[in-house]
Amino acid sequence: MIRSRPSKDPTVPRTPAALAWQRLRADRTGMAAGVVVCAFFLLGLCAPLISAIYGKNPYTTYGQNEPGLLDEFGYPTGSMGGISGRFWLGLEPGLGRDVFTQLLYGIRTSLLISAVVVLIVTVLGTAVGLIAGYAGGWLDAGLGRIVDIALSFPSTLFIIAFVPVVQSLFVSADQQTPTWMRVTTLVVVLAAFGWAPVARLLRGQVVSLRTREFVEAARIGGASPIRIVRRELLPNLWTPILVSASLSVPVYVTTEAALSFLGAGIDEPTPDWGRMIHRGAEVYLSDITYMLIPGVAILIFVVAFNLLGDSVRDALSPSGR
Amino acid sequence: MPISVSASTSISRSRRRSRSALAIAVLGTLAVTAACSSSAAEKSGSGDPAAAGTVAKQAVALGTAADSQGPDPAVPGAKSGGTVTVLEQSDFSHLDPARVWSSANQTADLLLTRQLTSYQQVGNTTKLVGDLATDTGTSSDGKTWTYHLKDGLKYEDGSTITAQDVKYGIERTFQKELSGGPQYLQMWLTGKTDYSSTYSGPWGGQDLPQIETPDAKTIVFHLASVHADFPFALAMQAYSPLPKDKDTKSALDQHPFSSGPYKVDSHDVDKGMVLSRNAYWDPKTDPVRHAYPDGWTFEFGAQAVDINQRLIAANGPDKDAMTFKVTIGSDLAAQVNSSPDLKARLVNEVTPFSEFYNINTRRVTDPKVRQALLEAFPRAQTRQLLGGPVYGDFTNTILSPVTDGYQNYDLYNVPDTGDPEKAKALLATTSNPHPTIVYAYQDDTAWQQGAVAIQQALQKAGFNVVTKAISTKNYLDQTQKVDNQYDLYWGGWGPDWPSASSVIPPLFDGRQITDGGGNNSLLNDPAVNAEIDRIEAMTDLKAQDTAWAALDKKIMQEVPIIPWVDPRQVSLYGPGLGGVHTGFIGTCYPLDVYVK
């Protein structure tokens, strides 16, 4: 008889994944948040397509090229920051670039960076957590201290000071700093600090699991440490890993925005939400729309992602409610 | 004087000046001396927030002995009394005259010090007149200058101002400890740039033999070379009198001993300062100062945006408030422009400063490429990012319109938005139609966006553009290095008196190229250097002015800079004040202010 296939038949037991999926589907908030999150990913993925149909790009300075779109002080003419049938979310004060496409491409910047960081942080953190938790002894103690140091480091200050130094090291004074290098630097420094909390979380879980009977049984049965980790421990760790990963994405989106806000993130002309918000904070007296649009966008994204993360956690471990 | 970099991302202009005489300051604008307000040719931008641009350009003439007698002609409608509140972002870094050079510090010392000569502003006319002296000085050869003091000159304690005090005040500027001030007189008297090797200041008990004081009211200067504009240099606040027994050394910086119309009652560093009348100051001896208010209260430490909001609201004592240097940004320009009430209490005048983009002539050696840069440059786009017409007026010349002898010309006749096609055609005649240009800028929002506009505009003309951000703090240090690796970078300059001799030599004399110096285009043309020597040796100021203007045009044929804007001082003041306008320093001028 074939076991463990998900089935509506109540007599057949369901897999934990199927149960979790069922619980998630029943959670309306979670589903709504999921739809919003998917929409953001879709918008980011399809940004070039959408902007081709829409007929604008985030780099052209429409306001400076065409007289009449900006007033003499550099602010969009017309109400609401220049929102019109032609520019759906208005124009950026000063350069007069299109806000809608800036926002779309900004999603790509934010999501790309945070997704890569989360991937690295999760893989690295899980590996360190497993090794420290399962090996114990001096290895655990040594890794534990490294985690302590990484956690206690003033990471934001470090990043702000470090990013320009790295870039001047690798790029000669008369060459353009490539955008990929900016992105890579950001990913590396964010990941360098981000793995520590994941490692600590996972280590705790592993320590509590490794003395359980099924692990003992496997060990007595002669299983190799690698097999124990892969077949006995890891399957029991998917819940904390998934939950921490899904809650980390919005954290890194806001961190990246904050770094750009502080001038250590992605620079012109690559569209970026943090920089848009920074500029918005400078011009809010004359053009509040330009601050509200990226502000509201990042708010919706972060709230939706957090709600989704909560729902995933609830669905995976209902007892944790 | 050099210009300073704006410290913040806002458009407000800071006017700090660095210590070196030739240092330049950046973004913001800076400090100064020249004369009255003026309207530079403004080709675009119809809407200044206030109708300021109608004042005629005016050369600063030397006044006669009759002009030098007091009192200063009254400001129409002015009356005495009341207290003016002055709101500033930060405290004055120095008040000790020997250390005063930035525009903010100079403005404060207008109230507290007098000089041998000074500028008399009546309406739109500015003249250099004798202040402590009976006239602007007499000299037969441009090297020996004689001054006589007036009668009835008193300090805040009632003692008499003597020629020996004037000498002592100038001797103090040699003292190494008293850094920060200008160095013109020190260099001219000793004939050396490292003047302290000749004379190290009066604190060691030495005497400066180049200044003679045969009696209490006569002072004779013996310069090492001819300086026809010597009377202008004497008007700098750094060369104020001080009695030897009142030299409190470093303490003088917070609490100067006043020879001017006001004295310091209390000074709480970085918080506030209170000035009251100097009862011994006699307006009949002073041709350049009014002292209508009974007192001045300074408040330091607020953000520019908060100061502007207080001036707009004008609640309570803020009704009589003003600011020397806080400007409105582009974010307030629209609001001010649409409010007749605010427009009625706005200063909006061109300062003596100039801002431009240096082209590194050591890296970009082909004048055709430099000309193509100038033709393709998006001057209007970059100005709009900093506030458009409230930031400044476009200029095509090196000298600012408030400089004596200034002549307007437009050598290349390109629109303010740049002409990429023309530049492209010119580049096609050079060996490399796609040269790479490294543009360095300070890393804050407005300049980041400026880099985008510059990159796009220059690319249209066929340039490859590399943009390099430098932190605001390091911007000046980096771009003022002789061996910098950039091709194009912003700079600014303010003349210390309305003569090209405080502009062209520091900016374009190839022999003055040093790290931290003013010649940041690194132009070193023997013909220009020789012409500078020839003009400086002239004893006739008028002939000198004409020659400087011709040299201005000649230098621009080599395109070492892309002239950009003459910045404006655009500031609000409270509805209870009258007589607020900018002065020869470029800031809001306190000496004609009265409480209505």
According to DSSP, residue A229 is labeled I
ipTM score above 0.85 = no
Cβ-based contacts under 8 A for chains A and B:
88
Collapsing DSSP to helix, strand or coil, A95 comes out as: coil
Report the C-alpha gap between B506 and B495 in whole angstroms: 10
**Which pLDDT does position A159 carry in this prediction?**
84
Amino acid identity of residue B268, one-letter, is: D
> Are A97 and A62 contacting, i.e. CB atoms less than 8 angstroms apart?
yes
Token pair for residue A266?
Answer: 């992605």
> Are B347 and B581 contacting, i.e. CB atoms less than 8 angstroms apart?
yes
**Which pLDDT does position A13 carry in this prediction?**
73
Residue contact B485–A263, C-beta within 8 A: no
Between strands B321-322 and B577-578, the pairing is: unpaired
Report the C-alpha gap between B87 and B323 in whole angstroms: 5
Q: Identify the residue among A268, A277, A287 best suited for mutation to test binding to B, counting B beta carbons within 10 A and taking the highest.
A: A268
Residue B307: its H or E element: helix B304-313
pLDDT tens, residue by residue, A28-76: 888 899 999 899 989 988 989 988 898 888 888 888 888 888 887 888 8
Alpha carbons within 13 angstroms on the beta-carbon side of residue B266 total 5
DSSP per position, A16-67: HHHHHHHHHHH-HHHHHHHHHHHHHHHHHHTHHHHHHHHT--SS--HHHHST
Q: Identify the residue among A61, A64, A182 best suited for mutation to test binding to B, counting B beta carbons within 10 A and taking the highest.
A: A64
Mark the ranges of chain B whose per-residue pLDDT is less than 70. Answer: 1-58
Say yes or no: A268 contacts chain B, CB-CB below 8 A.
yes
Question: What Rg, from alpha-carbon coordinates, does chain A have?
Answer: 24
- Domains within chain A, CATH numbers bracketed: 103-316 (1.10.3720.10)
Token pair for residue A274?
Answer: 């943090």
Report the C-alpha gap between B199 and A224 in whole angstroms: 86
Collapsing DSSP to helix, strand or coil, B564 comes out as: strand
Enumerate the residues of chain A whose CB falls inside 8 A of the CB of residue B334. Answer: 71, 73, 75, 286
Q: Identify the residue among A62, A72, A268 best suited for mutation to test binding to B, counting B beta carbons within 10 A and taking the highest.
A: A72
Question: pTM for the complete prediction?
Answer: 0.81
pLDDT tens, residue by residue, A170-190: 877 677 888 888 888 889 888
Report the C-alpha gap between B29 and B14 in whole angstroms: 6
Q: Identify the residue among B330, B379, B447, B470 best suited for mutation to test binding to A, counting A beta carbons within 10 A and taking the highest.
A: B330
Nearest CA in chain B to A64: B381
**Which pLDDT does position B24 carry in this prediction?**
33
Say yes or no: A282 contacts chain B, CB-CB below 8 A.
yes
Say yes or no: A278 contacts chain B, CB-CB below 8 A.
yes
Report the C-alpha gap between B465 and B438 in whole angstroms: 6
Residue contact B449–A283, C-beta within 8 A: no
Residue contact B445–A73, C-beta within 8 A: no
Residue contact A285–B47, C-beta within 8 A: no
Residue contact A61–B469, C-beta within 8 A: no
- For residue B439, with 0-12 CB atoms within 10 Å meaning exposed, 13-18 middle and 19 or more buried, which class applies? buried
> Are B538 and B547 contacting, i.e. CB atoms less than 8 angstroms apart?
yes
Token pair for residue B215?
Answer: 């009696």
The beta-carbon neighbor of A267 closest among B9, B388, B448 is B448
Nearest CA in chain A to B455: A269
Nearest CA in chain B to A260: B445
Say yes or no: A306 contacts chain B, CB-CB below 8 A.
no
Residue contact A268–B466, C-beta within 8 A: no
Name B297's bridge partners. Answer: B85, B274
Per-10-residue mean pLDDT, chain A, length 321: 54 76 85 90 90 88 84 81 82 88 89 91 92 88 91 85 80 78 88 90 89 88 86 85 86 85 81 86 84 89 87 74 45
Enumerate the residues of chain B whose CB falls inside 8 A of the CB of residue A68. Answer: none
